[in-house]
Amino acid sequence: MGAPRSPFLTRLAPEDPRWGAARASRGLEYDVDEAPARVRKVVAMIRVMVVDDHPMWRAAVVRDLDQAGFDVVAEAGAGDEALRRAEAVRPEVVVLDLQIPVLGGVEVTRRLVEADSGVRVLILSASGEQSDVLAAVKAGAAGYLVKSASREEFVDAVRRTAEGDAVFTPGLAGLVLGEFRRLSGASRVAEPVAPQLTERETEVLRLVAKGLSYKDIAERLVLSHRTIQNHVQNTLRKLQLHNRVELVRYALESGLDGSDDDAGDTGASGHVRHAP
């Protein structure tokens, strides 16, 4: 008997009249099983490790990732096992449950990110509690998805996490940004020596701080997705940061999340200096 299908692993068949509406309502660019060959080739290059202590659930997650074309390079059911295998296989994305034996998901996230700043941890948990979400993000998680998400949402979240997006279940992104604002307000000190960012990099940074995805930023600025990624990577390098979560926190601490930049003003409220 195969592993049971959970709500987030269930998908509508393309011939189902609800399929198109469901895909559109989630803002998906394509269905993973109907993706063109060029998209599936890109997805197949993404190395993923799955960590969950329930074997049937883990097997179902792995199966869905395999069917979507991802390269699942390792599985683990406990924290210590996950750390050993991650060191051996060097995944790009780790799909990690919080409630795992030996160390726990938060500590595993912290150690994974400390050992490899390039790894991106996507939490996949049954819990949507504020304390769990914030603990995971503070430990370095790049995103947080609850297990009630659909299969398409999950697969899209893994792809976007690999691309550098911060992916959260609807409602959780605002929680994370709110906490960062609270922390930045409590810890803000005298203006530091600011790195030299271009006006475009600062503009992108502001939109990142607002929680926009790379796709949304690209559409707003009429630029390609790749160009936005390049701006973010350049900004990370200049600021000596490691991931998008750290970048959002920096932007909030620098006052770059203001709502007065829709008209294109990117230099008034933040501490980041523009390069001449």
Q: What does pLDDT average to in each consecutive run of 10 residues of the chain (276 residues)?
A: 40 38 37 46 76 94 94 95 95 95 93 90 90 86 89 92 84 65 51 67 85 85 89 84 76 64 37 43
CATH code of 76's domain: 3.40.50.2300
pTM value surpassing 0.75: no
- Residues 153, 73: one domain? yes
Per-residue pLDDT tens for 198-234? 889 888 888 887 778 888 898 999 999 889 988 888 8
Listed in sequence order, the residues at least 6 apart from 18 whose beta carbon sits closer than 8 Å to its beta carbon are 12
At residue 14, the pLDDT reads 38
What does the H/E/C string look like for 33-49? HHCCHHHHHHHHCCEEE
Q: Which domain holds residue 235?
A: 180-274
At residue 32, the pLDDT reads 44
At residue 193, the pLDDT reads 41
At residue 175, the pLDDT reads 65
At residue 178, the pLDDT reads 63
At residue 75, the pLDDT reads 96
- Residues 135, 53: one domain? yes
How many domains does one find in the chain? 2
At residue 182, the pLDDT reads 62
Q: What's the CA gap between 61 and 65, in Å, rounded?
A: 6
> Domain ends where: 150, 170, 190?
170
Please indicate, yes or no, if residue 226 is contained in any of the structural domains. yes
Contact between 193 and 272 under an 8 Å Cβ cutoff? The reply is no
At residue 84, the pLDDT reads 95
